Amino acid sequence: RLNFSHGTHGEHEQRIKELFAEARKHKPSIIFIDEIDSLMRQRGSSPGASWATDTTANQVLQEIDGIRDSNYVFVVGATNAPDAIDAALLRGGRLSTQIEIPLPGDLEREKLFVLYLKRAKLAADVDAKALAAKTPRYSGADIKDICEKAVVHAFEAHRSADFSLTQADLEAAVANYARTSRVYHVPEFFKKASAAS
């Protein structure tokens, strides 16, 4: 597990080298980089982009190129901002296959509400289908957060662990979440990519 929140950029590059060396030593292996856009942001794309950031990105590209002919070492990246990733990373032989994991539909959101509320004591009026209808374009993380906030708010209101979560509690959490949080929208990146192909 790599942590880039501390240390110098020289240390970051060394950690990247060590990670790929470890993967080659223990193949078959998968290197998974979450929020890869933070590590591989388009080089020189903004005033905040620095030479040091660019050298870290260059190190990642160099390491990926180094495993190109190495069987059974795979690199997978995840991001909510694919259009922010340096184009060099998406070229053939690197992370050349992009797969969109779409936001959940109505039925999936309904099941997510059921899943995240299964440990809560629910009032008879709780309707997961109605909650799903009120949360179009919400992600699984959004729904989990809504359920947790509804439970905390209801607990604070009752000042007791002996309470039932109501539909009104959950709908209030949905309304408050929409006001205070940025509901995620799938970027246009994949539409642009499919139009170009």
Q: What is the pLDDT of residues 43-91, one digit of tens each?
A: 765 555 555 567 888 888 888 888 876 678 889 999 888 888 888 888 8
Evaluate if pTM is beyond 0.75. Answer: no
Tens-digit pLDDT profile for residues 151-189? 999 988 888 778 899 999 999 999 999 877 765 555 555
Answer whether 167's CB lies under 8 Å from 128's CB.
no
For position 183, what pLDDT does the model report? 58
Tokens of 126: 């709780």
Closest-CA residue to 109 (of 89, 88, 133): 133
C-alpha triplet 152, 154, 160: angle, nearest 5°: 95
